[in-house]
Amino acid sequence: GAVVSQHPSRVICKSGTSVKIECRSLDFQATTMFWYRQFPKQSLMLMATSNEGSKATYEQGVEKDKFLINHASLTLSTLTVTSAHPEDSSFYICSARSLAQGDEQFFGPGTRLTVL
Amino acid sequence: QKEVEQNSGPLSVPEGAIASLNCTYSDRGSQSFFWYRQYSGKSPELIMSIYSNGDQEDGRFTAQLNKASQYVSLLIRDSQPSDSATYLCAVNRRGYSTLTFGKGTMLLVSP
């Protein structure tokens, strides 16, 4: 149990385009989902926390107008990187948490974004 | 003071040995503790959770928690080359829904 999927696993896009990444909890209802970013050889950086049906809470320094997060259901959250630029190239990882499963977070496989 | 501290390593152990990974945390109100394994280029995978003082064992893995010393450790018995990865310690602080991660310890198990 506790499987989280992400789609796409890899995306290459041109500068200025927008990219949507989906995160799904497959076998549990995720009351909270989290979005992280990780640059090569660096630690995880939390970008935002989203609860189903409410606005996401962004970490300091993360532009909410650039990284749009929607958590429309208990099994789906999306991250849209708007007007992507090369500096947005990174590994984006979502995780999901269910109150029924305590404080554990289960991670999706990640999406590697490359902006040309 | 960093909230969750880990030695970055690398920690090198021979195959079959016990690997001992350590983590300290600063918030005494922390209530849940986790170890994640992250292979290069992959996302983190939860391998152990521990909530109360003492040991928690799962197969070759043992998590140890000492709240008085604000210390969490992970022991990997009979280490295998496939255990070579970065191990992340994560702590849930009381009142927060988020996890605070350490920067991770790289473990290298040589055949």
Task: Report the b/e string of A13-46 with b at 16+ CB within 10 A.
Answer: beeeeebebbbbbeebebbbbbbbbbeeeebbbb
Residue A1's pLDDT is what? 66
Model confidence pLDDT, tens digit, residues A56-94: 999 999 999 999 999 888 899 999 999 999 999 999 999
- Mean model confidence pLDDT for chain B: 94
Q: Inspect the interface and report whether the beta carbons of A43 and B101 lie closer than 8 Å.
A: yes
Cα(B83)–Cα(B37) distance, rounded to whole angstroms? 9
Does residue B87 sit at the A interface (CB-CB below 8 Å)?
Answer: no
Q: Inspect the interface and report whether the beta carbons of A104 and B31 lie closer than 8 Å.
A: no
Residue B2's pLDDT is what? 63
Does residue A3 sit at the B interface (CB-CB below 8 Å)?
Answer: no
H and E: helices and strands count for chain A: 0, 11
Q: Inspect the interface and report whether the beta carbons of B49 and A104 lie closer than 8 Å.
A: yes
Does residue B97 sit at the A interface (CB-CB below 8 Å)?
Answer: yes
Model confidence pLDDT, tens digit, residues B41-75: 999 999 999 999 999 999 999 999 999 999 999 99
Mutate to test the interface with B, among A44, A62, A101, A104 (most CBs of B within 10 A): A44
Q: Among all residues of chain B, which has the CA nearest to that of A97?
A: B97
Nearest CB partner across the interface for A107, out of B43, B98, B103 = B43
Does residue A105 sit at the B interface (CB-CB below 8 Å)?
Answer: yes
Q: Inspect the interface and report whether the beta carbons of A107 and B31 lie closer than 8 Å.
A: no
Looking at this protein, which amino acid is placed at residue A4?
V
Residue B1's pLDDT is what? 57
CB-count burial class (<10 Å; 0-12, 13-18, 19+) for B3: middle
